[in-house]
Amino acid sequence: MTQESSCCNGAIGSDNVLNMYPEKRKLLKEYIDVLPIGDDRNFNKGFLIQTLHKAQEIYGFLPESVQLFVADQLKLHVSAVYGVISFYSYFTDKPTGKYKINICTGTACFVRGAGRLVEEFERYLGIKEGETTEDKKFSLGGLRCVGACSLAPVVMVNDKVYGKVTTKMVPEIINDCE
């Protein structure tokens, strides 16, 4: 592990997101700069997940250029970074819509009809779960238990929680986003 060389010095990736937003890059750099990064890769790895959380908070997603940047800063191989991103469902390397519609598919919501809600949202927006509309306005996803099981079935739009949702409320919820 310790022998692998940092091959990504200077590489910028196939997208240009990193250089497009210098102010975002600055924020991320400031966050990383205060971490006690050393020469021990294994030690540095301990800061990877929190750094990725920060990067996704800043950029909304984790494009290749940002992955390379993080790898470079933490002195890790980019494969280690990508391996972590692809493992955890919280991280995404695809841009998401302005409104992230997440339907809770926890057990409590499932037995109270969450499956039907997923289908109705898919039908209404014309996209499948995990996809984003062409105009980048809505993305549709699933979520496991937000802890509001008494309000099952639950739908979250960004940070807003809708409880006791019925298929009839789907158009209302979409209109609420405008």
Partner 1 sequence: MIKTNKDLLQYYNKITKESSKNDLEIIVSMGTCGIAAGTTPVLDELKKGIQEKGLSNKVTITESGCMGLCHSEPSIEVIDHKASKSIVYGDVKPEHALDILSNGVNPINGPTLINRTWYYPEDESKKENCPQARVVLRNTGRINPESIEQYIMQKGYQALGKTLCEMSPDDVVKSIMDSGLRGRGGGGFPTGKKWSLAKAVSADQKYVLCNADEGDPGAFMDRAVLEGDPHAVIEAMAIAGYAIGATKGGIYIRAEYPLAIKRLQIALNQAREMGFLGKNIFGSAFDFDIEIKYGAGAFVCGEETALIHSIEGMRGEPSFKPPFPAVAGLWAKPTIVNNVETYANIPAIIRKGADWFKTIGTPNSPGTKVFALAGKIKKVGLVEVPMGTTLGDMIFKIGEGIRNDREFKAVQTGGPSGGCITAKSIDTPIDYDSLRALGSMMGSGGMIVMDEDDCMVNIAKYFLEFTLDESCGKCTPCRIGNTRLYEMLDDITKGRGTQQTLFKLRDLAHVIKDTSLCGLGQSSPNPVLSTLANFIDEYEVHIYEKKCPAGVCRELIQYTIEADKCTGCTLCARNCPVSCISGERKQPHVIDQSKCIKCGVCYEACKFHAITKN
- Our finding on whether 151 is near partner 1 (CB under 8 A) is yes
Residue 91 CA, distance from chain mean position? 4
Contacted entry of partner 1, ligand FES, none for residue 42, CB cut-off 5 to 8 Å set by kind: partner 1
Residues 128-147 that bind partner 1 (CB under 8 A): 143-147
Residue number, 70 or 154, with CB nearest to ligand FES: 154
Phi, psi (rounded to 5 degrees) for 161: -100, 125
What one-character-per-residue DSSP string does 136-167 give?
S-EEEEEE---S-GGG-S-EEETTEEE-S--G
- Our finding on whether 152 is near ligand FES (CB under 6 A) is yes
- Our finding on whether 108 is near partner 1 (CB under 8 A) is yes
- Our finding on whether 60 is near partner 1 (CB under 8 A) is no
- Our finding on whether 69 is near partner 1 (CB under 8 A) is no
Q: Angle, to 10 degrees, between the axis of helix 64-73 and the axis of helix 22-33?
A: 30
Residue from 149, 169, 174, 177 touching ligand FES (CB under 6 A): that is 149
* Residues facing residue 102 across a β-bridge: 141, 156
- Our finding on whether 70 is near ligand FES (CB under 6 A) is no
Sheet of strand 155-157, all strands in order from the earlier edge strand to the far edge:
138-143, 99-104, 155-157, 160-162
Residue from 18, 25, 28, 47 touching partner 1 (CB under 8 A): that is 47
Window of 8-16, 21-29, 35-43, 143-151 that interacts with ligand FES by CB under 6 A: 143-151
- Our finding on whether 161 is near ligand FES (CB under 6 A) is no
Residue number, 18 or 114, with CB nearest to partner 1: 114
Structural contact between residues 64 and 15, judged by C-beta atoms closer than 8 angstroms: yes
Residue 115, judged by CB atoms within 10 A of its CB (0-12, 13-18, 19+), counts as middle
